[in-house]
């Protein structure tokens, strides 16, 4: 039994480049889902520090891969090569990966806070028009992120197809600064009328 446990432990340890490769995006997603996501200190210091640490692990993994190749330990070499190759792939598509992690983090945040956000919707009186609400999670003075609740579902329409009434109401919210939006993924019973948004203010 002890021999089997030791073998399993060694197997898990030898897979560390794979865990590091997958763990970094997961860590970014969790960080983006946390209240600290819009903290300037996190954006300017913590995230770059994480990226540098990830790169250091990648270099070390590449060195180990070369070592195992010289020893013809093909399986170990392949496992160690996974991390630098993944980092290379991310560096070639860094904006797409960052955007994916940010959106995934916002989605996770939305589901955790869903009851509170729906309470805000239910507490908003109706005035005969479809309700339009923005929830700003914070950010910089020139850019922030959050959610939009749009019962008219006009937020993603081209400007020429948005009603003048919707534009007038949107002008009094962060949407008036300029924005980007996409539907929150998930079951329609929970996400209907909800959108992840980035605001230019």
Phi, psi of 38 (to 5 degrees): -100, 10
Q: What Cα–Cα distance (Å) separates residue 199 from each residue in 137, 140, 170, 173? A: 10, 10, 12, 10
Beta strands 194-199 and 179-183: pairing type? antiparallel
Give the separation between CA 170 and CA 113, rounded to whole angstroms: 23
Give the separation between CA 49 and CA 133, rounded to whole angstroms: 35
**Which residues of the chain form beta strands (DSSP E)?**
132-139, 144-150, 179-183, 194-199
Residues of the chain with pLDDT under 70: 1-13, 37-43
Give the separation between CA 160 and CA 127, rounded to whole angstroms: 24
pLDDT at residue 13, as a whole number? 58
Q: Where are the domains of the chain?
A: 2-101, 113-199
pLDDT at residue 110, as a whole number? 95
pLDDT at residue 7, as a whole number? 45
With 0-12 / 13-18 / 19 or more C-beta atoms within 10 angstroms meaning exposed / middle / buried, residue 181 is: middle
**Dihedral angle of Cα 90, 93, 96, 97, to the nearest 10 degrees:** 0
pLDDT at residue 4, as a whole number? 43
What is the pLDDT of the chain when averaged over all its residues?
86
Residues in the chain, how many?
Answer: 201
pTM of the model: 0.77
pLDDT at residue 151, as a whole number? 94
Cβ contact 21:82 at 8 Å = yes
């Amino acid at each position: 039994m002890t021999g089997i446990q030791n073998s399993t432990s060694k197997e898990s340890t030898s897979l560390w480049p794979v865990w590091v490769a997958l763990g970094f995006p997961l860590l970014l997603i969790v960080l983006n889902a946390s209240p600290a996501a819009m903290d300037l200190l996190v954006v300017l210091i913590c995230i770059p520090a994480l990226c540098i640490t990830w790169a250091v692990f990648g270099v070390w993994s590449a060195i180990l891969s070369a070592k195992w190749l010289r020893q013809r330990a093909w399986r170990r070499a392949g496992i160690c090569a996974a991390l630098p190759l993944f980092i290379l792939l991310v560096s070639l598509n860094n904006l797409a990966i960052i955007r994916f992690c940010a959106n995934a983090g916002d989605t996770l945040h939305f589901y955790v806070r869903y009851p509170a956000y729906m309470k805000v919707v239910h507490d908003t009186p109706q005035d005969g028009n479809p309700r339009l609400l923005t929830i700003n999670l914070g950010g910089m003075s020139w850019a922030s992120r959050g959610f939009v609740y749009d019962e008219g579902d006009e937020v993603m329409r081209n400007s020429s197809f948005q009603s003048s009434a919707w534009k007038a109401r949107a002008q009094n919210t962060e949407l008036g600064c300029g924005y980007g939006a996409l539907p929150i993924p998930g079951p329609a019973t929970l996400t209907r009328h909800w959108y992840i948004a980035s605001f230019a203010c």
